[in-house]
Structure 1
Amino acid sequence: MRILSLIPLLLLATGAVAQTPAVQPPIDTMKRVVERLSSDEFEGRAPGTEGEKKTLDLLVAEFSKLGLKPGNNGSWFQDVPMVEITAKDVTPLTFTGGKAPVSATYGPQMVVGTYRTDGARSVIKDSPVVFVGYGINAPEKGWNDYAGLDVRGKTVVILVNDPDYETPGLTGTFNGRAMTYYGRWTYKFEEAARQGAAAALIVHDTVPAAYGWNVVQSSWTGAQQVAEGSPGNRDQSTAIGWISNETAKALMASAGQDLTALSAAAKRPGFKAIDLRLKASVAFDNQTRKHMSKNVVALLPGTSQKDEYVLYTAHWDHLGRCEKAADGDDICNGAVDNATGTAALVALAQANVKAGPTPRSQLFIALTAEESGLLGAQYYASHPVVPLKQTVGGVNMDALSMAGPAKNVVVIGKGKSDLDAYLDRALAAEGRVATTEPTPEKGFYYRSDHFAFARKGVPMLYFEGGDDLVTGGRAAGAAAAKDYEEHRYHGPKDEYDPNWNWDGVAGDLRLYYRVGRELAAGKDWPNWVKGDEFRAIRDRSRAGR
C-alpha cells in the first residue's frame, strides 16, 4: 500500500466534533485496477460472460488481500437472477396504411427488443399505431396521456423526457427543466406495459435524451440483460425499442402529421393521444439464456455499532461487445464508465483498512447490470444483505471525471437529503463547493445505482466531478463533458489512457472517504428532507428503532 498523505478529518459524532486521522485513498491502486478492468482481456465486463468471471475474481482477490470479510453470510457474492436476450434476424420496422410506406432498419434507424422471456420469436403484425405524447400517467399531477385509451394490441409512439423539459426554471408540473422519473425511458416502457401495449417505441431526440443515436445503437443492440418478474415476463410488451428522429418524422408525415407540431401539443395539459391510422410490423428471434450474475459484497466490520451499516456502491459491469468503431474495435471497455467507480471501491476499502475500523460497519458493494437498468442495485435493494432499517446511508460512484481538478462538485439530487451537509463539511476541508446540476433535464438522478436504494428509502449521495475546472473554468469543463459524451460514452473508445490527469479523481476520492468515514464514525441517521418523495419510506423503515 502506498500512502500519499495523512489528512486530519473532523467527524461530528453525537453533536461533538472529534478529530480522526484520515488516509488518502491511493491513486496507484485506482490506476492499476482501472487499467486491468478495462483491458480487452475483460471483453467489456458484460454480465454472464467470461468478462464477469474475471471481474469477480479480481475484486475478490483485491478485497481479500486487504483483509475484508465476505459480506453475504460468509460469501463474497449475492446471486442476481437474470435472463440474457439477444435479438436475432430483426426484420425492418415498417409502417403502412399512410401516404407512403415507411421502413426503418435495425441499428441505424431503429432498435428493438423485448423484456419477455417466454418466446423464441417476437412478432408485431399490422399493429395499430397511436401517438401518446410523453406516455405519462401521473394521477397526482392531473396528467394522463392514456386517458380514454385502450392500447391493447397496439403500438404506442412516445416522446422522451417530460413535457416541461424546455422550461428555463425548476418549477412546473414535472419540475420544469429537471427530469422526473416520468421522463426516464424505463418508466415509458413500464407504463406502456401496464396499459397493455403490444409494442412501445420511444422517439429519439438528442437534447431531451441527453445522448446521441450512437449511444442508443451501441447500448440496445447485442445481448441485453433483463430481470424476470412474473413467469416469462408475460406482463411486458412484446416489443420495446427506439426509433430515430428521422424515422419518426417520416412516419408522422405518412400519417399526415408533423412531429414538431405534435411534440408541442403533447407538452400542454389536456393533450389527447392521436390514432395515426398506421399499422406497424416487426419481427425478430430471441436467443435467451438464464444465468446468475453477481453483486460483490465486501465487509469491514464495525466495533461498537457493528449492526449499523454504511454503503459504498459502484457498478462493475459494462456493455461487453458492441457496435464496431471505424477501426473495427468492438469491445466497449468501459474504462471511465465504470472501471473508475469500481476501482474507487477498492481504493476506499484500502484507505479505511489503513485508518482502522469505525464504530459502524462498512459494506463495499460492486453491483451488476447497472447498464441494463440498475438491475443489480434493484435486486440488492429488494433482497438486502443487511436490513435496510439498519443501513445508515452511503455514497455511489459512477464514471469519475478525468477532466482534471475542479473547484466544485456537481451533486446529483442536491437538496434532497441530510447527506448534503456531510458533503459540505468534506468540501469545506478541501476548499471546494457543491453546485447543482447544470443539465437537470438529462435525468442523471435516475441513471445510476443510488436511485434503486433511494426508492427503498436509503439516503445515498451521488456527485460527479466538478464542471468548473481549476484550469479553464466552466468552458473547459463543458468541453470535456461534450468530448466524452460524443466520442467515448457507451462506445469502444472509452479506454484506459496512460496520459490521464488523475488529480481531479484524487480530490473526489478524498471527498468520498471523508463522507463515508464521518457516517461510519457517527451516531446520526441521515434522512430525506421533509416533503421529499422518499421521506415516508425511510420513516416507515426506521419506525421503532
Structure 2
Amino acid sequence: MQRKLLLCLAATAALAACKQEPAAPPAAAPTAPAPAPTHAFASAINAGDFGELVKTLASDEFEGRAPGSPGEELTVNYIRDQMQRIGLQPGNGDSWFQEVPMTETTADPNTVLKIQRGQDNQELKFGTDMVIGSRRGEPEIKIDASDMVFVGYGVDAPEQNWNDYAGQDWKGKTVVMFVNDPGFHVDDAKLFDGKRMTYYGRWTYKFEEAARKGAAAALIIHDTAGAAYGWDVVKNSWGGPQYDLPAAEDKEPRLQAQGWLSAEAARKLFADAGLDLDKAYKDANKRGFKPVPLQAALSLDLKSTIEQKKSRNVVGVLPGSKRADEAVLYMAHWDHLGKHEGEEGDNIYNGAVDNATGVAGILEIADAMAHQQTPPERSVVFLAVTLEESGLLGSQYYVNHPTFPLDKIAGVINIDAMSVNGRARDMTVTGFGSSELEDILKPLATAKGRTLHAETSVQSGFYFRSDHFNFAKAGVPALYADGGEDLIDGGVEAGKRAAEAYGKDHYHGPKDEYDPATWKVDGAIEDLELLYGVGQQLAGGDAWPNWYEGNPFKANRDAMMKGRSGEIGK
C-alpha cells in the first residue's frame, strides 16, 4: 500500500490507482555483484548519506528493483553491504537473506460466472460484470450450484457486537457483501469508526472471514465511494498475473474463489431475487441484520496458469546489550516495478520515493543506533522486505517465519515513501489512534513543534496497505508515520500541490527518480530523527506498548502476551 498513498491525497484519480495493481516479478536472474562503495558515510542521520543511499537504490543500474530481476541482485547485495558497513549482524541465523517463495496465478480471462435461478441462467463476463480468482494455487477450481446469500458487510466483529454471519452454516455457500464498514454508506458515525475505515472494511478481511466461516466463494459488490477507487482499478488489478505465498504458507483457510461484482451486475442480481439494492444498503447498516438468500446458485469452472518463483528479504540485527532476546523492528520494502521491456522512452520505474527513501531511512537509523553512546538494551532488527508491490508478501512471509518470536517484538516501525517536500509543522500518523507507540512519538514531535494527526482520507484504509499491516494483523503494535501536510515553506496549499504533483506525475511511473535539484530532504531527515527516537526509547527500556482499547488487533496481542501481562503497557 502502500504512506506513499498519502502523497496522492490531493489527486483523487491518483488515489484510486494507488496500491491496487500488483507488480509482476520477472523471472529469476543470475547473481550480480553490488556496486563498490564510493561515499564516505557518517554515523549520524544526515542529508548527504540519505541522498547517496537513495541515489544508488533508485539508479538506472538497479533497473527499478523488480523481484527476480538483475535489479534484485544488485539491491539485496547493496543493502547487505550497507548493513555490514554499519556493523549489524546477519539477521536470519548466519544469513543476511530470507528466501520468500511465491506463487504466480494467472486466471483465464475467458472465465464466466454462471448464475442459475430456476430455469433462468445468466453468465457474468470477466472484466465487465465481475472479476474472479483463487489463492489456492490450483490449476482448476470447480464450484457447482453453490447457494448465494447476501451477508451485508460480511463482518464478524465481537467488540462491536456485530456478526453478519450469525446463526447459519456457511459451508459450500457463496457469500455476497458490500465493501467498507457498517455505517459508511448511510453516514452513521455511531457505527464502527464512522467514515474512518477499520480492518473490517478492507476487502482482504472480507475474503479471509468468508473463508474462516467455511464459504466456497465470496463476491464483493463494488461501489466507487466505498472502495475508494473505480471499477477500472478493480478490473486492471485482477487481470493478469496475481502473486501470493504458497497455500502451505498460510495459517488461515482460503476460499476456492473470490472476486468482485460490478455495481450493475449486483443490481440485476438483487432485482432478479425481488430485492432492491438501495434498500439492501440501508438494511445492512442496521444492528441485527440477518443474511438474505438471493434465490440463486453459482457455478464456476476457473482455470489458471500456476508458476512457482522466489525472492528475498534482507535482515540485519543489532544485538541488544541486556535483553538480546527481545526486539524492536524497523522495516521498509526494497522492491519496485522494475524495467518495462518494450515500452518506449524511459522504461525504468526507479521507485526513488517509493521506496528507496524508506530503505535509506532504515539504514540511516541503523547507523545512528549502532553508534549511539549507550547501546540499545533490546536487539534492533532492520528488515528490508520484498514483494510489497505484489501484495505485502515479503512481510507476510517474515511474520510467518520471524527471526524473533512475535511476543518478543516490542514494536514495529514501518517507513514507506518518505516526503521529500521539506519540513512540516505536522506529522501524519496513518491509522492515528491505533497503538501506544504513538504515546512515545507524540512528545518527541511536540519538542520539534510538530503535531500528530490522522491521514486526510481516513475512509480509504491506508493503514492496511503497507507492510506493517501483517505485523498488526498478527497482533504486534506497529507505527506508520512520516511527512506532513502543513509545510513550513508554503503551508497546507504547498503540501497539497506537492502531493498532487507526485500522484499525477511520479507515483508508480518512470518519473519517480532521485532529483537532488528539487527534493527538500530536510523534512525527511527530521522525520527519521523522530522515528529513531521512538525506537531508541523502546529498545533502551522495558515497556511493552499495546494497541489502544477497542482496536481489533488488541485481542491477538493480548493472547500472545498471556502470562506476561505484568509487562504490557509499562
Query: TM-score range, shorter-chain basis?
Result: 0.7 to 0.9
Deviates more, 1:432-441 or 1:449-458: 449-458
Q: Which residue of 2 aligns with 1:514?
A: 533
2:157 equivalent among 138, 141, 144: 138
Among 200, 203, 211, the alignment partner of 2:218 is 200
Q: Is the 8 A contact 1:389 1:541 kept in 2?
A: no
**1:86 pairs with 2:106:** yes
Report matched runs for 1:143-154 at 5 Å.
Answer: 143-154=162-173
**1:123 to 1:525, Cα distance in 2 relative to 1, 3 A:** closer
Q: Which residue is 1:346 aligned to? A: 363
What secondary structure, in the 3-state scheme, does the structure 2 residue paired with 1:86 have? strand
Within 5 Å, give how 1:407-422 maps onto structure 2. 407-422=425-440
SS in 1 for 2:207: helix
> Is residue 540 from structure 1 mapped to residue 562 from structure 2 by the alignment?
yes
Deviation at 1:134, TM superposition (A): 0.9
Match of 2:201 in 1: 183
Which residue number in structure 1 is paired with residue 354 of structure 2?
337
Q: Do residues 286 (structure 1) and 307 (structure 2) align?
A: no
Specify the alignment match of 2:460 in structure 1: 442
| Alignment counterpart, residue 86 of structure 2, candidates 66, 83, 105 | 66
Name the CA distance, whole Å, in 1 between partners of 2:265 and 2:493: 34
Q: Secondary structure at the match of 1:423?
A: helix
Query: Is residue 504 of structure 1 aligned with residue 523 of structure 2?
Result: yes
Q: Indicate whether 1:359 and 2:380 are aligned.
A: no
Q: From the superposition, tell whether residues 322 and 130 of structure 1 become closer, same or farther in structure 2 (CA, over 3 Å).
A: farther
Structure 1: gaps (5+ residues): 5-22
**C-alpha contact 1:459 1:526 (8 A) present in aligned 2:** yes
Q: Which amino acid in structure 1 is aligned with residue 528 of structure 2?
A: L
Aligned to 2:139: 120
Matches within 5 A, 1:168-179: 172-179=190-197
TM-score (norm 2): 0.78
Paired position in structure 1 for 2:451:
433
The alignment yields a C-alpha RMSD, in angstroms, of 3.8
Moved more, 177-186 or 31-40: 31-40
What is the match of residue 285 of structure 2?
267
Query: Is contact 1:116-1:232 (8 Å) kept?
Result: no
Q: Deviations over 1:159-218 (max 9, x none)?
A: 11111135768x634232332222121211112222333322222333322334454345
* 1:56 and 2:73 matched: no
CA distance in 2, matches of 1:344, 1:302: 21
Residues 519, 497 of structure 1: alpha-carbon distance in 2 compared, 3 angstrom cutoff: same
Q: Shift of residue 76 of structure 1?
A: 0.6
Q: What is the CA-CA distance between 1:124 and the residue it aligns to?
A: 4.5
CA distance in 2, matches of 1:271, 1:487: 44
1:16 corresponds to: none
- AA in 2 matched with 1:162: D
**Kept after mapping to 2: 8 A contact 1:212/1:486:** no
Q: Equivalent of 2:415, from 375, 397, 402? A: 397
User: What SS class does the counterpart of residue 525 from structure 2 fall into?
Assistant: helix
Deviations 1:90-111 (A, max 9, x none): 42446565999564333x6643
Aligned residues: 522
Distance 2:321 2:171 in 1: 57
1:542 aligned counterpart, secondary structure: coil
| Structure 1 counterpart SS, 2:444 | helix
- CA shift, 1:256, in A, is 5.2
Residues 394/132 of structure 1: CA separation in 2 closer, same or farther (3 Å cut):
closer
Unaligned runs of 5+ in 2: 1-38
**Conservation of the 8 A alpha-carbon contact between 1:307 and 1:390:** yes
In structure 2, what is the equivalent of residue 301 of structure 1?
319
The answer to whether the 8 A contact 2:186-2:285 is kept is no
Secondary structure of 1:409's match?
strand
Preserved CA contact (<8 Å) 2:419 2:524: yes
Secondary structure (helix, strand or coil) at the match of 1:241 reads strand
Deviations 1:86-136 (A, max 9, x none): 324442446565999564333x6643221112x212345665443322111
Task: Give, in angstroms, the shift of residue 69 of structure 1.
Answer: 1.6
Q: Equivalent residues in 2 for 1:367-382 (5 A)?
A: 367-382=385-400
5 Å matches for 1:38-49?
38=58, 45-48=65-68
AA aligned to 1:163 is P
1:394 Cα deviation from its structure 2 partner: 3.7
Q: Distance in 2 between matches of 1:24 and 1:102?
A: 62
Contact kept in structure 1, 2:58 and 2:514, CA below 8 Å: no
TM-score scaled by structure 1? 0.81
CA deviations over 1:259-317 (Å, ceiling 9, x no partner): 33322222122323333344545544322233443321112234344444221112223
Hey, what's the Cα distance between the residues in 1 that align with 2:112 and 2:530? 49
Kept in 2, the 8 Å contact 1:90–1:283? The answer is no
**3-state DSSP of counterpart to 2:382:** strand
Q: Secondary structure at the match of 1:189?
A: helix
Identity of aligned residues (%): 46
- Please identify, of 154-163 and 216-225, the stretch whose mean Cα deviation from structure 2 is larger: 216-225
CA distance in 2, matches of 1:376, 1:383: 10
Q: Give the distance between the partners of 2:348 and 2:131, measured in 1 at CA.
A: 19
CA distance in 1, matches of 2:337, 2:284: 33
CA contact (8 A) 1:158 1:201 kept: yes
Amino acid at match of 1:346: L
* Aligned equivalents of 2:232, 2:40: Cα separation in 1: 40
Indicate if the aligned counterparts of 1:84 and 1:226 stay in contact, CA closer than 8 A. yes
